[in-house]
Chains A and B, each alone.
Chain A
Amino acid sequence: MRTKWDEMRRSFSRAFKTNWKLFKQSKLGIFGLSIIIFFLIIAIFAPVLTLYPPDYIAPAGDLYDIDSTSVPIPQDLAWKNPVAIQTQILPGKPAKIAGIVVYSETGAAYLYQRKRGGEYESILRLSEPWKKEIPQGVKYIEYEPQNLQIWAFGSNSLYIYRVYFNGEEIDAQKTLEEYREVDVGHTVDYISNVWDYNRTDRSTGTVDATMGVALSSKNNVTLIIWRYSKISLTAGVTLYEGSALYEKNFSVDSEIVGNPLLIFDYRGNNTKLIVPTEEQIYGYNIELDIKKVFVGNSTIGEYIAGVKNITQIWNFSMTQNGVKYSLKAPNTIILPYPGADEATGKDVVIALCNDDEAFGVYTENGTMMWHTNLRLSPTDPRLHKVTFRGIVPSVRGAPLLYGDTNVGGFVAKLNAHTGKIMENKTAYLVLPGTINYVSRYDPGAQGYYASTNEGAIYQLNESFYTAPHQGKSTGLVKSFSVIGGAATPAIFLGNVYGVAATGTYIGVITKTNHLYLQASGGTRIPTIVIPPFSHGKASGNYYFLGTDYEGHDIWSWLAYGARTSLLVGLTAAFISVIAGTFIGIISGFYGGWIDIVIMRIVDIILTLPSLVIMLLMAAVLGPNIWNIVFIIAVLGWAGIARVIRAQTLSLKNRPFMDAARVAGASNARMITKHIFPNVLPLTFLYMTFGVSGAILSEAGLSFLGLGDPNAKSWGMMLQFLRMYGQVTNPNAWAWLIMPGVFITLISLAFYLVGRAFDEVVNPRLRKR
């Protein structure tokens, strides 16, 4: 017995065979179909056809132009952090030469000077170094840009070195002259953050700077504070000659277990010293004695003569809601609040941390108040256990907190006003690998640099917080990985000036004994785009069509992008056409107010410029591939509905419909058996055009940045091309041309198939 389904199947296959014969006659149709098959093959067999997965990033040796900025360093020494020296800028003259100091544990400091030559050097080239013996056992090195000094903190000494210039060259005779040695008087186990404040006196243009450090060991804390004014060098005197260093030892009752922290303002008043011990955290107000320095008869400036009064003001007793908290002090971190009134202690903010907790505390008029006990989101499995290790100040007032989690390094932005980790979830990042250093804030890059033990260097931009739906976070950029891994943490070197060129460089010493300097080009370290048909120079990988600016293989992205295009195109078109057909049929068949309402809606949708509305919806819904499909479908069904409705109307009035109704056919039967099969060709037709349009829409949306960042899409490739400014890069020709060619081809293919099908369905169109 023949069932309904048998009949439908037979009519479908009959229709199919006749239509296919007619379709074959159109050359363009066959051409289109073969292109579609071509892309289908690429999409399905992408993993087989590509050498690398789309997420693969070419290794650093291929991407970074490192040879020009790396200098081999002597192999027999154990190396520490490189430190840069900033040159002084004389008014009216070009900037002077820069140098880089590298020191070793075994007692040598090497100074590399930038090579001269050429009108404009954008790349730092280093000369053979000068070597200077320095005492062994230096633990920590810090540079002071205003006066070209290097401070080396040893086990029980502080060494200060000064760089001298002879004209524009570094004076080889006097370079790194040991300027002062300070005997701290006890072993040094902990060294605080070196906090400094710079203030420019607008009337005179002089710059005040105060720096300080606290050195501590088991029972001792030593404060070292220094201060100077920079005066016009035409006087030939720098105040540093006259300023003094003052030390004061004091003991506390129990063992000091963590970094003491010294916080002070430029006036030298209300300086605070925070000392964490096993039991408690002690806070001291320190009053500094400021003296004036005279040379001849004129006042040169002020210097700190001593620490006058130390008064203990804080004794953190931690009770909240009746529960006594004990802080494990090594994780204590304290921040000053930029707008706080240090005179009264009002609004000085302290963030105290345990392993996975950060507490924010306000003081008002000297009393302690607890704010909420902020725990990191327990739902994020990566943050199960966070150990805070340090804090880096930022000139904008949103310091960076860093530490370790169970899966890697952890960085978070702190709201300096409240001392809390910024509550938006994207204000923290988990880095793969253990962080070994976070640099100071770099105003040029508007961010920080963090290096990991694995040798990767991350650039963390200020804008951690990304508004929802703006795609992937821009707060973290993996800058580069050094070949062979890093032997030392990378340190942001600061501005290293050269003749006619300025630049910010990051330095790291690799395990392969190279001092590697990379210009930090603004917010991103520049890479090269590997051209097509070439091999990576370090890895030997073959990149068929080259790589993009981040190191992705272009052919991989093209192949996997086919999946995205086909998926979005077919799905969106399918949904919109099916929906449009059904709505059109219902609207045409039933008429009446359903028809009126639906047609009004259709009018509205067709009136609106689709891309503008798509952008709006994408902004609201978020950049997700299914949202894109939804958006395209929601705007696409209207046109089809209108056409199907017209067709339905014309069918409705045909005699065979009357006959069916007379024969007693129900509405449903009339729709499914009579109308639907007759509008089906139109439906197929619009489906092909719909795919073509959907693919172009998706490409457009991706190009504007609203595509799904996880889906590799051809439009997105072009967006990145433009975003990274590589449109004019001759190496990037494949990156520019291929995505567009593919989009055009696939869209054209569907269109041609549609046209050929149109001729089948609409015999009038043939032979025209």
Chain B
Amino acid sequence: MIEEKKVLTRHADSPGMIDVKNYIKDNGYKGLEKALEKKPLDIVEEVKKSFLRGRGGAGFPTGFKWSFIPTDKTKPHYLICNADEGEPGTFKDRVIMENDPFLLIEGMTIAAYALQADLGFIYIRGEFKWIAEILERAIQDARKVNMLGENIMDKGFDFDLIVMRGAGAYICGEETALIESIEGKRGQPRIKPPFPANSGLYGCPTIVNNVETLASIPFIAEHGAETYKLMGGFQAAGTKLYGISGHVNRPGVYEYPLGTNLKDLIQYAAGGVRNDKKLKAVIPGGLSATILKEDEIDIPMDFDSCVKADTMLGSGGVIVMDEDTPIPEIALATINFYVHESCGQCTPCREGLAKIQQILKILLAGNGTIQDIDTIIKLANTIDGTTLCPLGEAGGAVIRAMIKKFRSEFDALVS
């Protein structure tokens, strides 16, 4: 059996937590209170020591990212919360924002103090309009109780937040595309370097962190890095929200220590494959994570273990497929997504993915050849390493893995 650990979801079942008074009554803002007693750089150090890694997908160590912000402040600093939850299979950040908006706001306020940020943005996907409204109300309430705005908690620290809605572009989850979007431009990724920590929003030092990452900060600030590290495993500290969808008995978002076994998550958290069917395949970390076969899922769900298994933890969005699932059709649904969401800036992504889509359609219509299957693999190989952001590469790589692992199903389309 596996044991749930409720840090980020401790208020998920308490509907009253969208009221700041209830949040404070339930030990809310204890982390901020402690943080404001310390020096900003001490908080950066504490987060570094906690081994917290970014929960948006890339898994970059959060404290390390924060330490890139210049300490001699010559320009405004900005903090951005990436709430553009759009990776297919991912529906976790909304659980925090809908049920416990002050946890995110507190986390952002602590982060802003550590980074000496003047202003923060919550960039939320446009479709989540009602959640944006919850956040806006929460921000107003936090200002009323002196937890946002000027002289927060009478400690002389000023910080405020703006909620900004995207408008249906997945690519704006990429941090430089997100920054472009806040600047009122097309959401196209920038060439890096410079990295946002040096030159981000409006050319100023900027840190972009995912909702779940920022919501983990109050616990670390209140209880310390050592206590945080007690949850999870080596180089895999803390808890993780796993969103499990597809052919399972109990789809949903579950919080477990980082490194919880994937097989156990599917079996115990989500109640196993539904309708007494056998498991066929799992996409473990959002659509951009390489597919795993039934016999490949006995792995700890943390960043390094997933890389070892030739896939990635990504956002922790687990998509489960039963024995009746036709993988070539899943491949088409997958490539449709990447073609639709390619920003069009890099030719290998824009053209390569569209070509893969075209060939898959031909194969599924029964008009393909064996060579077509190999051409898809060649196209995916060509995209590798030739784009500004990971979208194109991910789109090609996941299709390539589906073909390699389920080759007979693709071959059957041409025989």
Chains A and B come from one and the same complex: no
Binding site for B on A (CB under 8 A): none
Question: Which residues of chain B have a CB within 8 Å of any CB of chain A?
Answer: none
